A = this chain, B = another copy of it.
Amino acid sequence: MDVIDELKSFRERDVPYTRVLSSMCTIPHPIAVEAHKMFINVNLGDPGIFRGSFELEKKLIEMLGRILHNQKASGYICSGGTEANIQAIRSFRNKNKSKKVNIVVPKTAHFSFDKAGEILCIEVKKAGVDENYRVDLGEVESLVDDRTIALVGVAGTTELGQIDPIVELSKLAEEKGIDLHVDAAFGGLVIPFLDNPYPFDFVNRGVSSLTVDPHKMGMATIPAGGILFRDESYLKFLEIETPYLTSKTQFTLTGTRPATGVASAYAVLKQLGFDGMRKIVKECMKNTKIVLEEVQALGFEQVIEPVMNIVAFKSDKAEKIRDKFYEKGWVISTIREPKAIRLVVMPHVTEEVIKEFISTFKKILSDL
């Protein structure tokens, strides 16, 4: 068999996005794909060679900084939210020069903070949440001790799309003189385009860094994560000497680094603009409401009122339902506390997709 045919046979076994309601990734915007192809050879790990691409990355960081209320934001486009979260915590740890430290994160935070803790030799203390699955401020405060170097808040939790009380976390961080990282990997390119955006970003003086992933709701190609720091001082704590490159130091976690995510993210944001992004988010929120109502009509209750385009429904049979969907070629996911099925309504989850999804759901329920 010809190599390309062989590759096709593997690719065909992937579940198409139009059957996926579990992922925060989506079909990239056509302009993203076009931009991606133009930068396919570029290694941003060597900015002395790829000078134009490196300039483009700076422009994109500026653009994201403007969206997130910080014209002085410093950072880079990375492999995704996990790298972004690790790098924020690494910067804070190195700034504090001590290795025996801890951070306080909501128990609903992404598992990349566990990964960061293990990798960086940092204790990760977990604060409980209130009845709306926002982190409990009292619990956060009680977990802070003299070894705590940072707090974490999430703007768009992975499981429910909930936003932690970043305003109050920011005040607490300022009061304690410690850093605050906001994981807005998902929400960073949703919340600014909602009708009544919650102030989750650098507008809060206590926010030191922020994760925002263009390859999620920014419809860029994979990989395009983003880590933004309040100012460039935080990047200094990440620098390693690079004797044989065209740059003298390197602050990224990885070495070789594609520019495809930079180009594709820039292309989408520039092409769509603020209004275009609002339209995309509006459409996703409209479809989330349709999913909410349709699944309610099947007898399910939502865990929280959807804040963004993620919705979860309580069910003791959540895992069984997920497995049945899986058998029928669909992918949804579950959460464990409370037991629930979880649906992410990305741009590829159109009204047409929802119709087929609900019809499949009905069949599954009748067999259950």
Q: Which residues of A contact B (CB under 8 A)?
A: 3-4, 6-15, 17, 20, 22-23, 25, 27-28, 31, 33-43, 45-46, 48-53, 55-56, 79-83, 90, 94, 99, 111-112, 114-115, 118-121, 158-159, 213, 215, 221-223, 225, 240-246, 250, 253-258, 263, 266-267, 270-271, 326, 331, 333-336, 342
The one of B22, B223, B266 in contact with A246, judged by C-beta atoms closer than 8 angstroms, is B22
Say how far A348's CB is from chain B's closest CB, in angstroms: 10
Task: Report B-chain residues with C-beta under 8 Å of the C-beta of A250.
Answer: 111, 115
Say how far A268's CB is from chain B's closest CB, in angstroms: 9
The one of B4, B12, B51, B258 in contact with A52, judged by C-beta atoms closer than 8 angstroms, is B12
Please state if B37 and A20 are interface contacts (CB–CB under 8 Å).
no
Please state if B240 and A111 are interface contacts (CB–CB under 8 Å).
yes
Distance between Cα atoms of A70 and B163 in the complex (Å): 48
Give the copy number.
2
Distance between Cα atoms of A82 and B78 in the complex (Å): 14
Distance between Cα atoms of A42 and B258 in the complex (Å): 16
Please state if A223 and B80 are interface contacts (CB–CB under 8 Å).
no
Distance between Cα atoms of A81 and B41 in the complex (Å): 17
Q: Select from chain B the residue with minimum beta-carbon distance to A90.
A: B119
The one of B39, B222, B255, B326 in contact with A42, judged by C-beta atoms closer than 8 angstroms, is B222
Please state if B254 and A333 are interface contacts (CB–CB under 8 Å).
no
Please state if B22 and A41 are interface contacts (CB–CB under 8 Å).
no
Task: Report B-chain residues with C-beta under 8 Å of the C-beta of A51.
Answer: 13-15
Q: Given A14-B42, A222-B258, A256-B225, answer yes or no on A20-B49 (Cβ-Cβ < 8 Å).
A: yes
Say how far A152's CB is from chain B's closest CB, in angstroms: 16
Q: Given A34-B4, A41-B222, A240-B111, answer yes or no on A79-B17 (Cβ-Cβ < 8 Å).
A: no
Q: Given A52-B11, A241-B111, answer yes or no on A223-B22 (Cβ-Cβ < 8 Å).
A: no
Task: Report B-chain residues with C-beta under 8 Å of the C-beta of A158.
Answer: 244
Please state if A221 and B256 are interface contacts (CB–CB under 8 Å).
no
Task: Report B-chain residues with C-beta under 8 Å of the C-beta of A17.
Answer: 41
Please state if A50 and B14 are interface contacts (CB–CB under 8 Å).
yes
